Structure 1
Amino acid sequence: MEWLTGFFSLIDSLTWGWALIPLLVVFGAFFTLLSGFVQIEYFGRMFRVLRGNDDGADPNAVSARQALLVSVGGRVGGGNIAGVAVAITLGGPGAVFWMWAIALVGMATSLVECTLAQLYKRSVGDGTYRGGPASYIIHGIGPRYRWLAVVYAICLMAAFAFGFNAFQGNTFAGAVNESLGIDRVYPGILLAILTAFIVYGGIKRIAKASDVIIPVMAFGYIALALITIIVNIADVPGVLYSIVANAFGIEEAVGGGVGAALAQGLRRGLFSNEAGLGSAPNVAATALVRHPMSQGITQSFSVFIDTMIICTCTAFIVLLSPVYQPGAEGVDGIVLTQQSLASQFGDWALYYLTLMILLFSFSTIIYNYYLGETALSVMTTHPMAIHVLRIAVVAMTFLGAIAPGATAVFFFSDPLMGLLAVVNLIAIMMLFPIALRVLNDYRDQLRSGIDKPVFHPSKFADLDIDPTAWPLAHEGTEKAQPHHRGEAIA
């Protein structure tokens, strides 16, 4: 067992230890600059997806909004509540600033990888679509690199479908035990039953469940944070100052100063929004949209929601409470967030947060399951394999809930996520020129007055694209309504 632990520890050191975080930051900045700050250029268009699917297409297909909500559900998990508190404890308030910074460049990375996932998606034949990094490796880089897609798929399944689902179960069971004193077994059984019900419905049921759960989860948590801010409005300027001051070393809240703030902020931000890790593109590929860039823009918005909104909510809940003491030890993670809320609203807030954690954890579990299902399709299409996967995911969720030391037991998750991130970064760097072609096609249509650009596979006949995955390609394009200068992208 020791040699196995040492092996995964080596992978972790070679990826997250020193190489991967700088690579993700550099690549994010690279994509931002070469795309002309595309995440800012189309920021106004990101909000259109909230209106729902107006394409008038197959009502059984997964819409752009549903794909967004599934993705948000996956990015937003227990880490947005517990992980942010840990980052502030170890890195001080300045860690929040660097979370914001990595989210800004991560929006461009997510846009590129999710645009590629849409471009190379495949029609399943029942009105749904499947794709992701494995697909754009095989059909974009070439079939001879299928082995690389298989390596990616194995890492994706092990890290997300098994390891991280155990973490989510552990986070929820721990919160219930802390707030209600209920033994971990019972919340574990509840979560396992809910998980089984959803995953046996496939991507359509996952999308429909997310369409309900995610808005309730997000708005419920945001409302609590807004109340916290309003009640402590006089302290907000001081908190903002401390975030910036600690980020640049003007003030030092913890040992390590700027270095600790930078390391914790970047690490927490990358773990939370998953930009560049290759997980979100698997969900982005499921949506029926007019143009690949549409889903790229939508998934860029998902990064914004995760970090700039949800993580910021947790940061203000912690930093505005008297519980948090810079440099103090003993209270961190989910307990710090729980106690911070209790100090503001009383003990009832513990129960409210427990409900939020259930929604956060459950949404992430069903998202992680779908990643595992997509990974499995790369390796085998045997009907029995999918049933084995579903049973295994439900079992791992339950085992994670009842194991107090789940983070130590599932030590392989972070190293494997680091490895799949390296594979994904190699792929999107090789395919970045093609992503720019798709971006320029989208821009050209907007400049010609087309309000809703449509992707035509015939324009990209040199690429291995599935034309049946673009049923809207035959439709006419809609001209934009007259607008004032500067409103073309709103």
Structure 2
Amino acid sequence: MAFLEQLFGYVGDFTWGWSLIPFLVVLGVMFTLVSGLVQFRFFGRMFGVLKPSTDPGAQGHISSREALLVSVGGRVGGGNIAGVAVAITLGGPGAVFWMWMIALIGMATSLFECSLAQLYKRNEPGGTYRGGPAQYIIHGLGHEFRWLAILYAVCLIAAFALGFNAFQGNTVAGAAEESLGVDPLYTGAALAILTGFVVYGGIRRIAAAADVIIPIMAIGYLLMAVVVIVINLPELPRVLWQIVANAFGIEEAVSGGVGAAVAQGLRRGLFSNEAGLGSAPNVAATAWVRHPVSQGIVQSLSVFIDTIVICSCTAFVILLGDVYVPGDEAVNGVVLTQQSLASHVGEWSSYYLTAAILLFAFSSIIYNYYLGETALTVFTDHPMAGHVLKVLIMILVFLGAAAPGATSVFFFSDPMMGILALVNLVALTMLFPTGMRLLRDYREQLAAGVEHPTFHIYKYEDLDIDKEAWADASK
């Protein structure tokens, strides 16, 4: 076991330390510049999806809005509460600035990966679709690259469906025991039952659950942060200056200065918003849209909500309080967020934060399950395989909550996520010309006065596209 931990430690250091972050940053900048700042040009169009769809073509399908909320539920999790606190503790307030920067360029990366997932999605029984990096590797790059899709799928199942779901159960149980005194055994059992109820309903029930949970989760947390900001409004300019000054070394909060701020901001930002990691495209592909780029634009908004909105809420709660002391690592993670919030509005807020963590974690669990289900289809479409995965995830959620030490066996989760991200980025680089082809088509239709651009499959006869998945897009 010690040998395996050391081996995966080296893999994690290589992916997250030496290759993945530079690759993500360079590609994000390239996608942004070559596309003509697409995430900013289409920023206003992103918000049109927040209202329920009235498009008759979307009836009976997963809507763009529902797919957005499922992906927001997956991106928004413990990283937005505990991860931001860790970034500030280790990198200083300047880390927040670099989290913002990586999110802004990551919006372009997310747009392209989710547009490609839509393009190569496959039709499923019952009016649903399935797609993601595995599908655009096989159908976009060719079947000779199927081995790459298999590597991606193995890593996706290991990291998200298995490892991260156990960690989510552990997070919920720890918060419930700390603030409410609930035995982790009961928390684990309740969470496992809830998980089973949702995942056995398929993607439609997952989308319906997200449609209820995510707005409550995001808006509730946002409102609490707004209350904190209003209470401390005179201090807000000081905090904003502190963030910028630390980001560029004008002031130094921790040892390592600018280097620590950049490293922590980029790493925690990428871990939180998942842009380019190849997870969100699996959900983006489930939506019915008239053009692949439409869902790509929507998924850019998901990155914006995760980091620019939710992560900023946590950062302001911490930096506007008096609990955080630069250079002091004694109080960090979720404890720093809890104590900071309590310093603003009182001890009752620990219960509020526990409820937020529960919603954040549960939405991530059902999102992680769907990622695993999609990855499983690369190997087999036998119904029994799906049942085994559902039961296994329920067991892991329970064990993660009831037996906290059990999560230690999932030390491979971060390295496996690093590998799948590298695989996805290689595929994205190779398929970028196809992504630009879609984007040009979308822009040309807008320039011609078409309010809602439509995907015309006859223009893409040279690509391996499932015609049934796009049969009614132009109706």
Does TM, scored on the shorter chain, surpass 0.5?
yes
1:362-377 equivalences under 5 Å are 362-377=362-377
2:66 aligned residue: 66
Structure 2 Cα separation of the partners of residues 49 and 71 of structure 1: 14
Asked if 2 retains the 8 angstrom alpha-carbon contact of 1:156 and 1:417, the reply is: yes
1:452 aligns with 2:452: yes
Structure 2 Cα separation of the partners of residues 352 and 474 of structure 1: 46
Asked if 1 retains the 8 angstrom alpha-carbon contact of 2:70 and 2:206, the reply is: yes
1:180-259 equivalences under 5 Å are 180-259=180-259
1:317 aligned residue: 317
1:288 aligned residue: 288
Deviates more, 1:41-50 or 1:329-338: 329-338
1:341-420 equivalences under 5 Å are 341-405=341-405, 408-420=408-420
3-state secondary structure, aligned to 1:472: coil
Structure 1 Cα separation of the partners of residues 85 and 229 of structure 2: 17
2:270 aligned residue: 270
Deviates more, 1:397-406 or 1:121-130: 397-406
Q: Kindly tell me: are residues 422 and 405 of structure 1, through their superposed partners in 2, closer, same or farther at Cα, counting changes over 3 Å?
A: same
Give the superposition deviation at 1:6.
Answer: 2.0
1:335 aligns with 2:335: yes
1:443 aligned residue: 443
1:8 aligns with 2:8: yes
Structure 1 Cα separation of the partners of residues 272 and 353 of structure 2: 19
Question: Can you list the C-alpha shifts for 1:402-456, whole angstroms capped at 9, x where unaligned?
Answer: 2334553311100000000010001010000000000000000000000000001
Question: Can you list the C-alpha shifts for 1:20-67, whole angstroms capped at 9, x where unaligned?
Answer: 101100000010011110000100000000012222125321000000
1:424 aligned residue: 424
Asked if 2 retains the 8 angstrom alpha-carbon contact of 1:457 and 1:473, the reply is: no
3-state secondary structure, aligned to 1:378: coil
Deviates more, 1:448-457 or 1:407-416: 407-416
Give the superposition deviation at 1:397.
Answer: 1.0
Give the superposition deviation at 1:7.
Answer: 2.0
Work out the percentage of aligned pairs sharing the same amino acid.
68
3-state secondary structure, aligned to 2:61: coil
Structure 2 Cα separation of the partners of residues 266 and 408 of structure 1: 25
Question: Can you list the C-alpha shifts for 1:326-381, whole angstroms capped at 9, x where unaligned?
Answer: 11121111111111111111111011111111100000000000000000011111
3-state secondary structure, aligned to 1:19: helix
1:466 aligns with 2:473: no
3-state secondary structure, aligned to 1:129: strand
Asked if 2 retains the 8 angstrom alpha-carbon contact of 1:170 and 1:406, the reply is: no
Asked if 1 retains the 8 angstrom alpha-carbon contact of 2:57 and 2:473, the reply is: no
- Paired residue total: 475
Structure 2 Cα separation of the partners of residues 94 and 400 of structure 1: 33
Question: Can you list the C-alpha shifts for 1:105-160, whole angstroms capped at 9, x where unaligned?
Answer: 10000000000000000001210000000000000000111111011001001100
1:26-175 equivalences under 5 Å are 26-175=26-175
State the one-letter code of the partner of 2:466: D
1:434 aligned residue: 434
Asked if 2 retains the 8 angstrom alpha-carbon contact of 1:58 and 1:127, the reply is: no
Structure 1 Cα separation of the partners of residues 25 and 398 of structure 2: 35
3-state secondary structure, aligned to 2:462: coil
3-state secondary structure, aligned to 2:221: helix
State the one-letter code of the partner of 1:273: N
State the one-letter code of the partner of 1:45: R
Structure 1 Cα separation of the partners of residues 329 and 209 of structure 2: 39
1:478 aligned residue: none
1:22 aligns with 2:37: no
Question: Can you list the C-alpha shifts for 1:196-232, whole angstroms capped at 9, x where unaligned?
Answer: 1100001000000000000000000000000000000
Structure 2 Cα separation of the partners of residues 174 and 474 of structure 1: 50
1:299 aligned residue: 299
Give the superposition deviation at 1:242.
Answer: 0.4
Asked if 1 retains the 8 angstrom alpha-carbon contact of 2:28 and 2:106, the reply is: yes
Asked if 1 retains the 8 angstrom alpha-carbon contact of 2:16 and 2:418, the reply is: yes
3-state secondary structure, aligned to 1:57: helix
3-state secondary structure, aligned to 1:473: coil
State the one-letter code of the partner of 2:330: G
Structure 1 Cα separation of the partners of residues 229 and 118 of structure 2: 39
State the one-letter code of the partner of 1:275: A
State the one-letter code of the partner of 1:71: S
Structure 1 Cα separation of the partners of residues 185 and 339 of structure 2: 24
Give the superposition deviation at 1:188.
Answer: 1.4
State the one-letter code of the partner of 2:433: P
3-state secondary structure, aligned to 1:288: coil
Give the superposition deviation at 1:302.
Answer: 0.3
Structure 1 Cα separation of the partners of residues 403 and 245 of structure 2: 40
Asked if 1 retains the 8 angstrom alpha-carbon contact of 2:107 and 2:303, the reply is: yes
Structure 1 Cα separation of the partners of residues 309 and 414 of structure 2: 24
Question: Can you list the C-alpha shifts for 1:156-211, whole angstroms capped at 9, x where unaligned?
Answer: 01100011111111111111122122222221112111111100001000000000
